[in-house]
Chain A
Amino acid sequence: MNTPAPAPAVAMKGVSKSFGGIRALVDVDFEVANGEIHALLGGNGAGKSTILKILNGVHVPDSGTIAVDGIVLAEISPEASRRAGIAMIYQEMSLIPTLTVAQNVFLTREVKGRLGLIDDRVAERRARELFHMLNVEVDPRARVADLGAGQRQLTEIIKAISHRAKVLVLDEPSTALSVEDVERLFSFLRKLRDDGVAIIYVSHRMDEIAQIADRATILRDGRHVITAPLSELPVESMIEHIVGRRSRGLSDIVRGETRVGEPVLVLRNVSAADKPKNIDLTLRRGEVIGLAGLLGSGRSSLARVICGVDRVTSGEIEVGGRRVRLDSPRDAIDARMALIPEDRLRQGVIAAHSVLANVTMSILDRLRTGWLVSTPKARAVTDEQIAALRIKTSSRDAAVRTLSGGNQQKVVLGKWLATTPDILVLDEPTAGIDIGSKAEIIQLVREFASAGRAIVMISSELSELLTACDRILVMAGGRIMDDIPRADLDDPEAAGSDAVMQLQAAERRLQIAIQKALTRGPEEVHHVH
Chain B
Amino acid sequence: MSISEGSAPTLAARLGLANWRQNIIYIGFVVIFVVFALALHDKGFLNPNNLLNIFRQTAMIAVMAIAMTYVLSAGEIDLSVGAVAGLASVVTAMAIDLGGPLLGVAAGLGTGIVVGVFNGLLTTRVGIPSFLTTLAMMGIAKGVAMWISDTAAVPIISKSYSFIFGGGSFGPIPVLLVWMVVLGIIGQLVLRKTTFGRQVLATGGGEVAARYSGINTRAIKFRVLVISSMAASLAGMLYAGRLQSGRFQLGEGDELSVIAAAVLGGTSLFGGVGTVVGTIVGALMIGLINNGLILMGLEFSQQLIARGAIIVLAVALSQSRR
Contact = CB atoms under 8 A, between A and B. Distances in A.
Summarize B's interface: helix, strand, loop or mixed.
Answer: helix
B210 A372 contact: no
Given A328-B216, A353-B201, A373 B208 contact: no
Given A357-B202, A364-B195, A346 B209 contact: yes
A314 interface: no
B212 A397 contact: no
A352 B205 contact: yes
A117 to B, nearest CB: 32
A433 B194 CA distance: 34
Interface string B1-36: 100101101100000000000000000000000000
A194 interface: no
A361 B198 contact: yes
A329 B213 contact: yes
Given A373-B193, A373-B195, A375-B1, A362 B214 contact: yes
A375 B194 CA distance: 10
B193 A372 contact: yes
A379 interface: yes
B206 interface: yes
Interface residue tally of chain B, by bracket?
20 to 34
A375 B198 CA distance: 12
A415 interface: yes
A394 B9 contact: yes
A372 B189 contact: yes
A415 B212 CA distance: 11
A330 interface: yes
Contacts of A478: none
A353 B10 contact: no
Nearest to B199: A364
A309 B212 contact: yes
A360 B214 contact: no
B212 A395 contact: no
Interface in A436-465: none
A357 B216 contact: no
A415 B213 contact: yes
B53 to A, nearest CB: 35
Which residue, B201, B205, B208, B212, has most C-beta atoms of chain A within 10 A?
A: B212
Interface string A346-358: 1111111100010
A166 B202 CA distance: 48
Interface in B210-230: 210-216
Contacts of A339: 212
Contacts of A379: 4, 6
A333 B206 CA distance: 19
A350 B193 contact: no
Given A350-B272, A353-B201, A397 B7 contact: yes
Given A372-B189, A373-B198, A395-B6, A349 B206 contact: yes
Given A346-B206, A352-B272, A361-B210, A368 B195 contact: yes
Interface in A357-383: 357, 360-362, 364-365, 368, 371-373, 375-376, 379, 383
A491 B191 CA distance: 58
Given A347-B208, A395-B10, A328 B214 contact: yes
Contacts of B109: none
Contacts of B262: none
Contacts of A395: 6-7, 9-10
A61 interface: no
Given A309-B212, A350-B206, 8 more contacts: A329-B214, A333-B214, A347-B209, A357-B201, A360-B198, A361-B210, A364-B198, A372-B193
Interface of B: 1, 4, 6-7, 9-10, 189, 193-195, 198-199, 201-202, 205-206, 208-216, 272-273
Interface of A: 307, 309, 328-330, 332-333, 339, 341, 343, 346-353, 357, 360-362, 364-365, 368, 371-373, 375-376, 379, 383, 394-397, 415
